[in-house]
């Protein structure tokens, strides 16, 4: 499964209205409302928020990967957002976050969920890739960056 297959320009936010951690997470979740794979958006919200309350998904280097598993979705779904004004996310490196990748999987799809989390983290650990995302001006451009980068570094048939 490719990240670029589950990430649609419709669920890519280039400017958040919120300025706090949970406001931004909720904006990402709300961007999934029209996704046909979502059965229950409030179940998605609960899964992601409950997971975030356990331990911050701010993994360092200015990005966070909020995620959750729920039967509120049929298949893996994703959203991405970036903010010009970094926010406190209680990240592992104590640095503010300016990019977020939201991943939500079906409750019983643990293997694929972990594989995609790992793939996202590997991509976002790349400084050049992060800079391309920060410099991008539109959801379509961001989606293309993911597509291009992913095709260069991963066996995308798995």
- Per-residue burial over 40-52, b = 16 or more CB atoms within 10 Å of its CB, e = otherwise: ebebbbebbeebb
For residue 103, give the 3-state DSSP assignment: strand
Which CATH number characterizes residue 97's domain? 3.40.930.10
Q: Per the domain annotation, does 8 fall within a domain?
A: yes
Q: Per the domain annotation, does 158 fall within a domain?
A: no
pLDDT score of 154: 57
Q: Per the domain annotation, does 57 fall within a domain?
A: yes
Q: Is the pTM of this model over 0.85?
A: yes
Boundaries of domain holding 47? 3-153
Confidence of residue 156 (pLDDT cuts 50, 70, 90): very low
User: If phi over 0 gives left and psi between -120 and 50 gives alpha, with beta otherwise, what is residue 90?
Assistant: left
- How many domains is the chain built from? 1
Q: List active site positions.
A: 67
pLDDT digit string, tens, across residues 46-62: 999 999 999 988 988 99
């Amino acid at each position: 499964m490719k990240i670029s297959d589950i990430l649609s320009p419709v669920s890519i936010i280039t400017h958040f209205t919120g300025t706090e951690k949970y406001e931004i997470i909720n904006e990402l979740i709300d961007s999934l409302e029209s996704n046909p794979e979502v059965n229950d958006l409030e179940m998605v919200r609960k899964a992601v928020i409950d997971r975030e309350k356990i331990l911050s998904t701010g993994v360092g280097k200015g990005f966070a990967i909020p995620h959750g598993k729920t039967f509120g979705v049929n298949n893996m779904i994703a959203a991405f957002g970036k903010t010009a004004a970094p926010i406190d996310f209680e990240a592992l490196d104590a640095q503010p976050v300016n990019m977020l990748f939201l991943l939500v999987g079906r409750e019983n799809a643990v293997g694929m969920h972990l594989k995609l989390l790992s793939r996202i983290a590997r991509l976002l650990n790349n400084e050049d890739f992060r800079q391309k995302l920060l410099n991008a001006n539109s959801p379509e451009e961001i989606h293309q960056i993911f597509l291009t980068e992913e095709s260069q570094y991963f066996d995308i048939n798995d």
